[in-house]
Amino acid sequence: MYERAIAIAPTYAAPYLNLGILHDLYLGDGKRALELYGQYLALSPSGDAAVTKWVADLKNRKPQQQAMLSAKEQPR
């Protein structure tokens, strides 16, 4: 639904943020999350301090940490 919202209204920032959170926290795709957070911030003229911090934290994560986060989400 987030991708559909982006297709319908590409200048509306909220779906980029929500899709970024989905990729970051639930899908373990930090690279895609960074892209989406970047698009969100570009569309947010007043900025967003929390998301800016998330971006910095995500950039500082080590690949091993990301792999561990992804492994925790895999069904057993």
pLDDT tens per residue across span 2-59: 999 999 999 999 999 999 999 999 999 999 999 999 999 999 989 899 999 999 999 9
pLDDT at 58: 94
Q: How confident is the model at residue 76 (pLDDT cuts 50, 70, 90)?
A: low
Distance between CA 43 and CA 26 in Å, rounded?
23
Half-sphere exposure of 6 (CA within 13 A, CB side): 15
Q: What is the pLDDT of residue 63?
A: 66
User: With a threshold of 0.95, does the pTM exceed it?
Assistant: no
Domain ranges of the chain: 2-73
CATH architecture of the domain 2-73 equals Alpha Horseshoe (1.25)
Residue 16 half-sphere exposure, CB side, CA atoms within 13 Å? 17
Predicted confidence at residue 64, as pLDDT, reads 56
